[in-house]
Chains A and B, each alone.
Chain A
Amino acid sequence: MTAETWAIARFTVLMALIATAMVLPPAIGIGWLLARRNFPGKTLLETIVSLPLVLPPVASGLLLLWLFGRRSPMGRALDAAGIEIIFTWKAVVIAMMVISFPLVARSVRAGIEQVDRRYEQIAATLGAGPVRILRTITLPLASRGIAAGAVLGFSRALGEFGATIMIAGAIPGQTRTIAVGIYTLVETGREEAAWVLVLISAVLAFGAIYVSNKLIEQGARA
């Protein structure tokens, strides 16, 4: 394995870890909201949450490119604050977050829905408020669903291609991930290096699926 492919693999895993860590809090919030609360516009929120799952990732990428570009108000505000996103590692993380968000949120939601509500009701009779109930009862009892969602989101982030190439590009040593690397290496006639990346991604994918299956198995036994 060359230093280049090794660096690409390390970079991709690091970005996917950051993206997973950052996607978990909002995914837990939205997952809880969808599992435990009824409110007007719930179906709309559900649809929006699932959108990146069905939208071509390249389309999500173009939307992100516009959102963080200087033509949008948010992009201009970031620019004025001197924060650069597009074509940096931050863009890689954002692309991974957006694409893996639906998988994590749906898995968290399913995990929370499996928690018997009567535990939460009993906790309330013991004087616990909503935040304490969530922290001490709901989330611990849904921890397997949350962990499975994190592994799933991490795996999806590792393989992210379409949105990444739109807003982060394929800059060697700066934004080049495994998936983007395989594509650009083949394009530039360096198929051998591309095969090494294929092998690395197969090993990572195997590991992630193995862990997630183990979690599900333990959940079934508990």
Chain B
Amino acid sequence: MIALSIDITLRQDAFVLDVRDSASVEVLGLSGPSGSGKTSLLESIAGIRTPDRGEIIVGDRTLFSSQRRINIPARDRHIGYVPQDALLFPNLDVKGNIAYGAQGAQGAQSASFESLVQILDLADLVDRRVGMLSGGEKQRVSIARALMTRPSILLLDEPLAGVDRERRDVILPYVLRIRRELRVPLIYVTHDEQELRSIADRVLQLAKPGSGREN
């Protein structure tokens, strides 16, 4: 369980994202049509994007507060971020990608490479080049890379979007396993109702082009 408090306004072009939510969650499902700002919200939490105003509190840490002039840089936030397209570093192999997060780990204590490889079933992939992986494999490697830093929360942006419908079972069980075995809180983005119900204990619905309202 982690306490989350988000109250931000983010403007980009003509689009305004207004989110307000506060709860203790294990898995927060984030849902809404494309263009409703789901990715922008994740990027704001990860520290890649700066909101125009507001406050983001994860656990007992204020990551961003326009009023108190706090904006912790991404590298000190300890937020695990898995983007929709996995974004594995193409110049490193699978092992290099996973190990990348070890140096920046929270409290200088990285997660165990072996245990992540085991939990995410990556043993056969560690020596491969990232260009040779399937969409689902890329997602799993990207999740392992993010977990190496021992993040206080893991942000997953539509991890099933790039995976065929028949093969979705290849990822979801792993996500549930992370939740169960590693006890890492998650924010899970999807626009699939069924997916949401199977994983989230709370759902934040983003409307287009609007404000965050809870279901």
Contacts and interface: CB of A to CB of B under 8 A. Distances in A.
Nearest to B43: A121
B81 A125 contact: yes
Contacts of A18: none
Interface stretch (A68-76, A126-134, A153-161, A167-175): A126-134
A50 to B, nearest CB: 29
Interface residues of A, number: 17
Given A123-B100, A125-B46, A137 B91 contact: yes
Interface stretch (B3-11, B101-109, B198-206): B101-109
A122 B90 contact: no
A207 interface: no
Nearest to A130: B75
B153 to A, nearest CB: 12
A127 B48 contact: no
A126 B48 contact: no
B127 to A, nearest CB: 19
Nearest to A139: B91
Contact of A127 (B83, B87, B89, B101): B101
B138 interface: no
A129 B81 CA distance: 16
Interface string B74-97: 111111110100010111000000
Given A118-B83, A121-B48, A126 B104 contact: yes
Contact of A140 (B73, B83, B91, B105): B91
A140 B93 CA distance: 13
A141 interface: yes
A127 B91 contact: no
Interface centre among A121, A127, A128, A129 (most CB of B within 10 A): A127
Contact of B145 (A119, A124, A126): A126
Interface in B94-123: 100-101, 103-105
Interface string A98-129: 00000000000000000010110111111111
A124 B77 CA distance: 9
B149 to A, nearest CB: 6
B29 interface: no
Nearest to A116: B87
A122 B75 contact: no
A16 B78 CA distance: 47
A132 B92 CA distance: 14
B136 interface: no
B81 A127 contact: no
A125 to B, nearest CB: 5
Interface string B34-68: 00000000000011100000000000000000000
12 contacts: A119-B89, A122-B81, A122-B83, A122-B87, A124-B73, A125-B79, A126-B101, A126-B104, A126-B146, A127-B103, A129-B75, A137-B91
Interface of A: 116, 118-119, 121-129, 132, 136-137, 140-141
Interface of B: 46-48, 73-81, 83, 87, 89-91, 100-101, 103-105, 145-146, 148-149
Closest 9 CB pairs of A and B: A127-B104, A124-B74, A126-B101, A140-B91, A121-B48, A125-B81, A124-B75, A125-B74, A125-B46
